[in-house]
Structure 1
Amino acid sequence: MQKTQVNSVLPHLAKNQSKNIVFVVNNPLGYDEWLKCIGQKRLMIGFPSAGGELKNGVVNYFIGRGIARAFQTTTFGELDGKTTRRLTAVVKAFNRSHIPTVTNSNMDAWQKTHVALVTSIANALYIHKSNNYALSKSTKDIRLMIQGVKEGFQVIEALGYKVTPHKLQYFKMPVGLLSFIFKIIMSTKIAEITMSRHTVVAHNEMKLLQKEFDELIKKSNRTTPYIDKLRKYI
């Protein structure tokens, strides 16, 4: 589900008797409200490496495999970072279904990092009306996107979190090199399915995520001129 739908679901989950409830949804601000409703013993956090759309009754989807995992892998974790039996069981189930899946011991940092990443990418796409191919042809806007992501990661680190997962440290490469790489990425069908089309159907969610990430920016006391530019386009 989208972050905009969480509040409407929580009261129903509070009454649900399931022993395990896995939230697979963007969330940069922590889990206090979720814990109040369902408790830590039942709560698990995850996020998919996948994308898709429902068109004419048919689901067209993409699952992150191979080189796509350099960007994101389906991930699950416990709030306390422990490797539990249920966590192992969930990961095994996904891997048996040919959906590459890993665990992470700090899902809060993972999700904060993810929102720092996707908000700048989404806002850059909105400059071009969610057309990833048009974005791929604009060196200026690709560079703005990369600089926004870098600023977002600096916000995360200023708040005492590590950029998570560690593989995203490649964003420390020079802007010019990253821009070259992302011009290629944004020109692909994968970018269309997993990024571009998603920004169309999740516009309200992206607005909310930007608003929530702005709260983290404020707490960090950092200036974010590139994010400020990108924010105008949402």
Structure 2
Amino acid sequence: MKILVYGAGVLGSYLAHTLMQAGNEVFMLARGERYEQLAQDGLVIQHYFQRKKTIDKINVVRSLEASDYYDIIFVVMQYHQFQSVLPVLAANVSENIALVGNNADAESMRDFLIKNSAIKKKVAFGFQISAGMRTDTGTVISIHGGGNVLAGELGGTMETFPVIKKAFGEKYKVTYQKNIDAWLKSHYIMILPMNSIYYLFNNDFKKVSKDKHALKRMIEATDEGFSILEGLGYTITPATQAKLFRQYKGVYYLAMKIYHKLPMSRVVQGTFDEMNGLYEAFDKMKTQTQYARPVWDTLQKEAMDKYHSQSQLPRDSKKSAGLL
């Protein structure tokens, strides 16, 4: 299959690697310094748990033209970046599109692609279970297990899923998520409090692990977020997530305490720009419910006050090394 991975960050890089392992003809869209790194050195990934390095000679392009046909395009980027590429995707002749990553507006993005394309677009949404960071030299440090991608389509259809499954081959696990919109919303409710705490603590994970109040705020804010989603008619997905989280908060607290002591927790990179976008999207949803959310609102205000105060500072000052 001829496949384009639109986005050459940490997650897009590992996704491209797995697609190449499955025998596909893979292209990556990158610009600037990242384009030069990939063109000259190839796709270099240090696999954290596996303790190995892979180097893939990959096709690199700078743009997606309207006439560039691919069997499927995987768009792998942060939530706040999706909107800028939708017109380009709509104008392109490729039929199958998979938007991979955090997403608070799946329905409107799908509708835009369908409405503004001259051909029938089949749109799926997904999430890759991996994380990591990219070094200044372009090497990606990737944290992943055996490999797993969740994918689904709004309305429970399966038009694009067979193409996605075929693309990854037999060795990589691809899980169909019937209610992908609820899954994506449940996921970002989990990561917003986490990343807010990390941001407020300047990504000092050791300090976070020792701060009982911070960890409890993280947990209580997540619980409030789940309740807001439920009040709006969404089912926390997977359903066991909220049940286990609420019934075993003590266990979750200990798990978070241990996790933030591990070296692995410091090899995850992101910026708070994405969290800002997710907060803005959730703010619109919150106005539709009267559920009390004191911990969530306070934590959000503290994080956003810091974010806005640093809006004129260099980009590195807004980094959030949290879960993606």
TM-score bucket (shorter structure): 0.7 to 0.9
Aligned residue for 2:288, secondary structure, equals helix
Give the Cα separation in 2 of the matches to 1:171 and 1:64. Answer: 23
Which residue matches 1:77? 152
Query: Hey, what does 2:223 align to over in structure 1?
Result: 150
1:60 aligns to what? 141
What is residue 215 of structure 1 aligned with on the other side? 284
Q: Which has the higher helix share?
A: 1
Provide closer, same or farther for how the CA distance between residues 172 and 203 of structure 1 changes in structure 2, counting only shifts above 3 A. same
Q: 1:93 to 1:150 in 2, by over 3 A?
A: same
In 2: Cα distance, 1:133 partner to 1:173 partner: 26
What is the match of residue 23 of structure 1? Answer: 99
Question: Structure 1 residues 83 and 6 mapped into 2: Cα distance closer, same or farther (>3 Å)?
Answer: closer
Aligned partners of 1:166 and 1:91: how far apart in 2?
24
- Which amino acid in structure 2 is aligned with residue 51 of structure 1? A
Give the alignment's TM-score, normalised by structure 2: 0.63
Alignment-derived partner of residue 296 in structure 2: 227
In the TM superposition, what whole-angstrom CA distance separates every residue of 1:75-107 from its partner, at most 9, and x where no partner exists?
A: 1001121344x4134235436354x33111111
How high is the sequence identity, in percent, across the aligned residues?
A: 29
Does residue 130 (structure 1) correspond to residue 130 (structure 2)? The answer is no
Structure in which a larger fraction of residues adopt strand: 2
Q: What SS does the aligned partner of 2:216 have?
A: helix
Partner SS for 2:234: coil
- Please report the RMSD computed on the Cα atoms of aligned residues, expressed in angstroms: 2.1
Whole-Å separation in 2 of the counterparts to 1:6 and 1:211: 15
**What is the CA-CA distance between 1:185 and the residue it aligns to?**
1.8
**Residues in 2 aligned to 1:97 and 1:206: alpha-carbon distance in whole angstroms:** 33
Larger Rg over CA atoms: 2
Which residue in 1 is equivalent to 2:264? 190
TM-score by length of 1: 0.85
Q: 1:224 to 1:153 in 2, by over 3 A?
A: same
* Alpha-carbon distance in 1 for matches of 2:193, 2:233: 21
Gap runs ≥5 in structure 2: 1-76, 305-324
Partner Cα separation in structure 1 for residue 202 and residue 83 of structure 2: 29
**Unpaired segments ≥5 residues, structure 1:** 67-72
Q: Is the 8 A contact 1:143 1:175 kept in 2?
A: no
The secondary structure found in structure 2 opposite 1:52 is strand
Instruction: Provide the C-alpha distance between the structure 2 equivalents of 1:93 and 1:139, rounded to a whole number of angstroms.
Output: 44
- Which structure has more relative contact order (CA 8 Å, sep 6+)? It is 1
